[in-house]
Amino acid sequence: MRSYVIDGPCRLSGEVRISGAKNSTLKLMVAALMVPGEVVLERVPQITDVDLMAEVLEQLGASVQRDGSRLVIDSSGDLCEEAPYELVTKMRASIQVLGPLLARLGHARVAMPGGDAIGSRPIDMHLRGLERMGARFTTEHGYVEGASERLQGVNTLLEFPSVGATENILMAAVLAQGRSVIENAAREPEIQDLCAFLNKAGAHIEGVGTPTIIIDGVDELQPAKHAIVPDRIEAGTYAIAAVATQGDVTLVDCEPAHLELPLMKLEDAGAQIDRGDGRVRVRMEGRPTTLDLVTLPFPGFPTDLQPPMMVLLSQARGSSILTENVFESRFLFVDELNRMGAHIRVEGHHAVIRGVEQLSGAPVRSPDIRAGAALVLGGLCADGRTEVYDAGHIERGYERFVDKLSGLGAGVKLEPARY
Ligand code: EPZ
């Protein structure tokens, strides 16, 4: 067990290179199961979630070769249809193998993912969409088991633009018979990246990045090579850190268009933002101005940047209201932030944040990836020493977090946990 030890306060300055997106990489690795040959992925982040997904794919019979930020996945052998409990419980994204296995093998058995720190996270929309394509599911002994002849293309309307449901149905539809249409589909850049990869591998997907995705099924996919899209959540975390520490940071190798709403909100808070080709410079002087924001599916404000934004607003001049519309229990980490001297009160899915002059260093515990990164960010702003326990959460989603922050002048290190 390790913890992040941060000595604050500091002003971040300099350049930080953005890695490939975790939430695209994991799905492209799963999509590789549908290709009876080699898939080469580049710009793959070195994070523990990728290692876990590699274990899931190997468990299913694929071979996974890693060379730095390059992954070669070969699924030309015989695949098995079961993703076991011990792996799925470690990483929810394993549920995304359901569609690809059903499409390729006509059978899948996957442990039910269950909830986590941010919400109950049901998969009803995944199952309903795949059932409409002809799959039949049973759920018993903690597993969801699905079987189908060749899946049939259909029109599906999603109740909510769920990222996971859109991806699972989309991947299944690529190898289904006939045309599928997904209405009210999610539009996240990671989904656009998945579609770009699948089209390179021979799929026929249109309406990418719109609420209506049209897929004409094909009989087989071919080997393909793809460079992963930049991680907009990692980039957003560093942009918010630059403003919260009143620093001057340039993000390189990022896609400003994928960050438009967070950047607009940082400008509302008083930051100066210069957008360039593949880079963004973020500068801040003085304490942030208060603002209200709501989290929504893309292109709305991303729920994954809500925790870092909460840290920023905890030091604003005055009160702000933050509304979480995507995950029902994503304010769980607020008590840890209040331990650092913040004044935040939660009322249902609203958080009322009364800004304070400065946070104070304290021992805190990270409940999940984004809240963990936010608490480290709090430590960079706080007076004195902060220890963020359960560092493992953060390493699931942030590549070389200590190196990158140290490169921007932060006093941060990873140490064996004292408690
Ligand atoms: C993806 O989760 C991301 N995870 C999450 O990032 C991200 O927060 C989320 O999308 C929203 O952007 C990965 O890509 C691995 P959803 P996902 O399906 O697919 C409800 C991070 O920190 N819902 O869009 O699980 C659900 O409970 C993680 O990197 C149903 O009710 O998100 C939630 O309230 C955290 N039934 C809402 O929809 C369903 O069948 C959005 O979930 C599916 C979802």
Amino acid 117: pLDDT? 82
Is the CB–ligand 1 distance for residue 125 below 6 Å? Answer: yes
pLDDT above 80 (res 128): yes
Split at pLDDT 50, 70, 90, the class of 113 is confident
Amino acid 120: pLDDT? 84
Split at pLDDT 50, 70, 90, the class of 85 is confident
Question: Looking at residues 390-419, what average pLDDT do you find?
Answer: 94
Amino acid 91: pLDDT? 86
Phi, psi for residue 124 in degrees, rounded to 5: -60, -40
- DSSP character at residue 222: -
Q: What angle do CA 392, 393, 399 make, to 5 degrees?
A: 80
Catalytic residue from among 7, 67, 74, 116: 116
Q: Using one digit for the tens of pLDDT, what is the confidence trace for 258-267?
A: 999 999 999 9
| DSSP string computed for 150-188 | S-B--EEE-SS--HHHHHHHHHHHHTSBSEEEEET----
Is the CB–ligand 1 distance for residue 304 below 6 Å? Answer: yes
Residue 193 bears catalytic tag: no
Is the CB–ligand 1 distance for residue 194 below 6 Å? Answer: no
Question: Looking at residues 33-59, what average pLDDT do you find?
Answer: 96
Question: Looking at residues 149-177, what average pLDDT do you find?
Answer: 97
Amino acid 144: pLDDT? 95
Split at pLDDT 50, 70, 90, the class of 177 is very high
Amino acid 182: pLDDT? 98
Q: Tell me how far apart the alpha carbons of residues 394 and 371 are, in angstroms, rounded to a whole number.
A: 8
Split at pLDDT 50, 70, 90, the class of 277 is very high
3-class secondary structure, 287: coil
Question: Looking at residues 112-138, what average pLDDT do you find?
Answer: 92
Split at pLDDT 50, 70, 90, the class of 405 is very high
Question: Looking at residues 348-370, what average pLDDT do you find?
Answer: 97
Lowest-confidence region among 83-87, 125-129, 324-328? 83-87
- DSSP character at residue 121: -
In 194-261, beta strands by DSSP E: 204-206, 213-216, 224-227, 248-252
- Give the chain's mean pLDDT: 96
Is the CB–ligand 1 distance for residue 327 below 6 Å? Answer: yes
Q: Tell me how far apart the alpha carbons of residues 199 and 178 are, in angstroms, rounded to a whole number.
A: 16
Question: Looking at residues 59-88, what average pLDDT do you find?
Answer: 93
Amino acid 89: pLDDT? 84
Amino acid 419: pLDDT? 72
Share of the chain above pLDDT 70, in %: 100
pLDDT above 90 (res 88): no
In a mutational test of the pocket of ligand 1, which residue from 90, 91, 121, 394 has the highest number of ligand atoms less than 8 Å from its CB? 121
Nearest protein CA to atom 43 of ligand 1, as residue: 123
Q: Using one digit for the tens of pLDDT, what is the confidence trace for 232-247?
A: 999 999 999 999 999 9
Question: Looking at residues 23-47, what average pLDDT do you find?
Answer: 98
Is the CB–ligand 1 distance for residue 127 below 6 Å? Answer: no
Question: Looking at residues 137-159, what average pLDDT do you find?
Answer: 96
pLDDT above 80 (res 114): no
Amino acid 83: pLDDT? 86
Question: Looking at residues 215-236, what average pLDDT do you find?
Answer: 98
Q: Which atom of ligand 1 is nearest to the CA of 186?
A: 24
Split at pLDDT 50, 70, 90, the class of 209 is very high
Amino acid 1: pLDDT? 75
17, 280 contact by CB (below 8 A) = no
Phi, psi for residue 73 in degrees, rounded to 5: -115, 130
Question: Looking at residues 118-142, what average pLDDT do you find?
Answer: 95
Q: Using one digit for the tens of pLDDT, what is the confidence trace for 96-112?
A: 999 999 999 999 999 99
381, 8 contact by CB (below 8 A) = yes
Amino acid 116: pLDDT? 76
Amino acid 84: pLDDT? 81
In a mutational test of the pocket of ligand 1, which residue from 96, 110, 326 has the highest number of ligand atoms less than 8 Å from its CB? 326
Amino acid 353: pLDDT? 98
